[in-house]
């Protein structure tokens, strides 16, 4: 089925899902020193909400998870501000032009860092509404890693400023954070991208409608280049929500 988004034609029957599903086992990616998510049937007395147990006509599970720690999630600037802001209120449009780039983080001291120069070179003259960063090497183990205490690669502040100054509204990356795991709470890339200068009183020109999506996975078969992004998420009134970013090839 064909559709036209921003005067660009796509085929809705050919979605490219770049999210990681949430599971309740060790195959689920984990960050920020959390345990695996919990998906368990409700129990009330001798009643168990699981059809295979023979006492329920429905499967009826409780789920406990942390959107930041347990898989693909999309967050708004409320992630770093004293005042509450909700992803469900900040993001009201869901289709965007997007550019997928692949970058091998540079070794700087003990860190692996994605630099402004790398982003600038990969984008060239393209200015999309969303940028999708695939880090190299692109190992499939990204879908199952426990990132805690690994000092994962991250985005340097200058790179985040460059992305903001280009007017790119949505940043997607296959890492648990755009910032260094242990950075003394500086969160330089988050603050630079959202243009938040004071977490206690958010400046008027902060980017309320812009989002960061972390812990995606972009398969090797998906080529760098231009796409249409459909950024889907659950309607949580929270700074972040589990999400399902879906790409569509641009029809020539």
All structural domains of the chain with their residue ranges: 2-22+67-249
* 16 pLDDT higher than 90: yes
Q: Please tell me whether the overall predicted TM-score, pTM, comes out greater than 0.85 for this model.
A: yes
49-60 pLDDT tens trace: 999 998 899 999
* 17 pLDDT higher than 80: yes
Confidence of residue 7 (pLDDT cuts 50, 70, 90): confident
> What is the reported pLDDT for 113?
98
What is the residue-averaged pLDDT of the chain? 96
> What is the reported pLDDT for 23?
96
> What is the reported pLDDT for 5?
81
Query: Buried b vs exposed e over 208-235: b needs ≥16 C-beta within 10 Å?
Result: bebbbbbbbbbeeebeeeebbbbbebee
> What is the reported pLDDT for 4?
87
The encoded tokens of residue 204 equal 């008027």
32 with 148: CB under 8 angstroms? yes
> What is the reported pLDDT for 227?
98
CATH number of 2-22+67-249: 3.50.30.50
> What is the reported pLDDT for 111?
98
Nearest Cα to 30, choosing from 187, 155, 150?
150
């Amino acid at each position: 089925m064909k559709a036209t988004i921003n005067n660009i034609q796509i085929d809705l029957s050919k979605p490219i899902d770049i999210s990681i599903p949430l599971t309740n086992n060790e195959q689920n990616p984990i960050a920020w020193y959390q345990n695996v998510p919990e998906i368990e049937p409700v129990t009330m007395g001798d009643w168990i909400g699981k059809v295979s147990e023979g006492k329920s006509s429905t499967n009826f599970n409780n789920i406990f998870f942390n959107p930041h720690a347990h898989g693909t999630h999309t967050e708004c600037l409320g992630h770093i501000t004293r005042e509450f802001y909700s992803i469900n209120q900040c993001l009201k449009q869901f289709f965007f032009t997007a550019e997928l780039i692949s970058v091998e983080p540079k070794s700087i001291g003990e860190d692996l860092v994605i630099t402004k120069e790398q982003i600038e070179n990969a984008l060239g003259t393209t200015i999309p509404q969303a940028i999708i960063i695939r880090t190299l090497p692109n190992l499939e183990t990204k879908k199952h890693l426990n990132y805690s205490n690994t000092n994962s690669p991250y985005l340097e502040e200058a790179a985040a400023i460059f992305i903001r100054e280009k007017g790119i509204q949505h940043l997607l990356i296959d890492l648990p954070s755009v910032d260094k795991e242990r950075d003394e709470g500086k969160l330089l890339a988050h603050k630079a991208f959202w243009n938040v200068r004071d977490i206690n009183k958010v400046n008027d020109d902060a980017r309320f409608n812009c989002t960061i999506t972390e812990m995606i996975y972009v398969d090797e078969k998906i080529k760098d280049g231009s796409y249409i992004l459909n950024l889907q998420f659950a309607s949580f009134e929270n700074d972040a929500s589990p999400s399902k970013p879906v790409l569509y090839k641009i029809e020539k």
